[in-house]
Amino acid sequence: MKDITIPGGKDADKARKLMRVFSPLTGAEMQDEYPVARSEEVQYAVEQAMAAFPVYAAMPGTRRADFLVAIGEEILTLGDDLIQRAMAETGLPESRLIGERGRTIGQLGQFAHLIREGSWVEAILDPADPERKPFPKPDLRQMLQPLGPVAVFGAGNFPLAFSTAGGDTASALAAGCPVILKAHEGHLGTNALVSRAIRLAAERTGMPRAVFQYVVGDGYITGRELVAHPGIKAAGFTGSFTGGKALLQVANERPDPIPFFAEMGSTNPVVVLPDAMASRGEVIGQQLVWSFTLNAGQFCTNPGLIIVREGEGMDHMIAAMHEAVLARQAELMYGQGIRRNYDQRTRDMLETKGVTLIGKGPDGGPLDGQATLARINAVDFLLQPSLQHEVFGPFSLLVVCPDDPSLQQVLHALGGQLTATLMAEPSDLEGRSELVRELVSRCGRLVWNGVPTGVEVSPAMHHGGPWPASSDSRFTSVGTQAIRRWVRPVSYQNLPEAFLPEALQSHNPLKIWRRIGMEWTR
């Protein structure tokens, strides 16, 4: 861990502020120290990224693709050191981190594939019509172009897949944007290792050195410096509502506001309908408990609200959930603050009028999150909007609706969500077809008879819902469409072939899918 360099490289100064990482595994601070970036170093990093931008953006997609694949290879080369360090820093189990590493490398590979294939630039060509009256129609062609240097704020709960070389970094690098990462305080060692892998990959594939940089510092102060810098043209964030909202405000208050994409989590309501409950209530209950307690419930797609339309089988389902919760071993949470917050929020919930405890899992160590399931009736839920706020951890609240009107009212009261889930038989939607529309209008992804956790990285994934789930429901932070966050269209009018980007040249040298008027061709 000695090769950490800070942009600007003024490491000589002994008075520099240093950070250490708390390990949930040992309950103590780890030895390594990470120098905090000074303001002028943040500025310097942005200037370097600005200088790297035109060089990097001008590289063909195939070369950027090689770089992304190389990052994956270098991450794999880090071997067990990376997994052990991430375990020590986050308390997440080994199998989960090995899986997450696979997801991270797979994600880089998908973006590499996307930009090697090339059609992602959404080329549209309108041929000229010199004979048109009263004015000739010009030749117009448009394609997506990268915005510029991007700031990324990694997530604490995904030290690999949503952090240093995670989805935000991978999609921005794929788009042609240099990245400056604000390293997450919870896994600075993991970050240093992955950053080294990225740097080695950049060297190996001949990328400008400043294509990727990171800074260590206080989330808000350093984050603010980054987001406010005129050289930063967009930013991505995964984390809390408070953090996301504060940085969004910085982005909006710049003299030139920039796109700021914050994925801030949600309660991911699951609606359980009578026929499904009658036929397989126990299985549904077990599935849901598994989903909201997995890895101490530290997922932004955790099903924190289970909205049940009362009916035959509800008692069986609840009994099954009760049993599953009691059997659920507590798991480590990734930080002390996260754990304290979980306890506080769970306590608040259980003290809220109308909330009763269904069951608690066995108590664990001081950093373990104890699985907790509570219930409330629809009327009490509707009267207390604070019950809608996410409890980050292995907690879920079952809302019992005695009839369809109360179910409708509860759904109508919900804020924006990353996901919404229907546990239903087709027969459940007879006379309730409005439910689909009602849920779709509030979420970014509608799940049928599944659990919301487990966010597929794929072209049709949309991970981003109406406020407060994300700051901008029109963009996704997971899946290949995430690249769209870092680009804007540019039109070229009557440009000679020689000066057009290859993607727009008439003979389609890149052999990509393009729209001619309304038709797609290749």
Query: Residues with catalytic annotation?
Result: 263, 300
Residue closer to its own copies (CB basis): 304 or 444: 444
Work out which of 9, 79, 130, 426 binds its own copies, going by CB under 8 A: 426
For its own copies, the closer of residues 79 and 135 by Cβ is: 135
Amino acid at 415: G
> Is residue 517 part of the contact set for its own copies (CB under 8 A)?
yes
Contact region for its own copies (CB under 8 A) — 74-82, 288-296, 318-326, 485-493?
485-493
Cα–Cα dist 349/468, whole Å = 20
Our finding on whether 408 is near its own copies (CB under 8 A) is no
Stretch that binds its own copies, among 40-48, 279-287, 299-307, 486-494 (CB under 8 A): 486-494
Question: Sign of the C-alpha dihedral, residues 88, 215, 253, 263?
Answer: negative
Taking CB under 8 A as the rule, does residue 98 contact its own copies? no
Name residue 462's amino acid.
Answer: H
**Is the link from the previous residue into 134 a cis peptide, with omega within 30 of 0?**
yes
91 binds its own copies (CB under 8 A): no
Near its own copies by CB under 8 A: residue from 48, 292, 444, 503: 444
- Residue 430, class by beta-carbon neighbours within 10 Å (0-12 exposed, 13-18 middle, 19+ buried)? exposed
> Of residues 62, 77, 356, 458, which one binds its own copies by CB under 8 A?
458
Residue 471 binding its own copies, by CB under 8 A: yes
Shortest Cβ 17–its own copies spacing (Å):
33
* 47 touching its own copies, by CB under 8 A: no
What is the SS3 assignment for 52-108? HHHHHHCCCHHHHHHHHHHHHHHHHHCHHHHHHHHHHHHCCCHHHHHHHHHHHHHHH
Q: Is the dihedral of CA 46, 168, 112, 192 positive or negative?
A: positive
Q: Which helix (DSSP H) or strand (DSSP E) does residue 305 occupy? A: strand 305-309
Shortest Å distance, C-beta 147 to its own copies: 8
Beta partners for residue 126, in sequence order: 140
Contact between 498 and its own copies by CB under 8 A: the answer reads yes
Stretch of residues binding its own copies (CB under 8 A), selected from 220-228, 284-292, 301-309, 438-446 = 438-446
Query: Is the Cβ of residue 185 or residue 438 nearer to its own copies in the bound state?
Result: 438
Distances (CA, A) of 80 to 33, 95, 100, 315, 447: 21, 12, 13, 46, 35
Which helix (H) or strand (E) element contains residue 380? helix 378-383
Query: According to CB under 8 A, which residues from 139 to 198 bind its own copies?
Result: 140-142, 145, 147-148
Q: Return the SS3 of 145.
A: strand
Question: Please, which of residues 218-277 interact with its own copies by CB under 8 A?
Answer: 248-249, 252, 256-257, 259
**Which member of 33, 282, 345, 513 binds its own copies (CB under 8 A)?**
513
Nearest Cα neighbor of 186 from 163, 167, 207 is 163
Q: Which is nearer to its own copies, 225 or 428 (CB)?
A: 428
Q: Other C-beta atoms within 10 Å of 354: how many?
A: 15
- 58 binds its own copies per the rule CB under 8 A: yes
Q: 213 vs 3, 43, 150, 354, CA distance in Å?
A: 14, 12, 11, 50
Q: Which stretch binds its own copies (CB under 8 A): 32-40, 307-315, 406-414, 510-518?
A: 510-518
Tracing tokens 């049993």 back to the chain, one arrives at 323
Question: How many of the other CB atoms lie within 10 Å of CB of 315?
Answer: 11
Does the footprint of its own copies cover residue 454 (CB under 8 A)? yes
Residue of 77, 427, 441, 506 interacting with its own copies (CB under 8 A): 441
Interface with its own copies (CB under 8 A), residue total 77
Stretch that binds its own copies, among 264-272, 286-294, 326-334, 467-475 (CB under 8 A): 467-475
In the complex with its own copies, the residue whose CB is nearer, 91 or 479, is 479
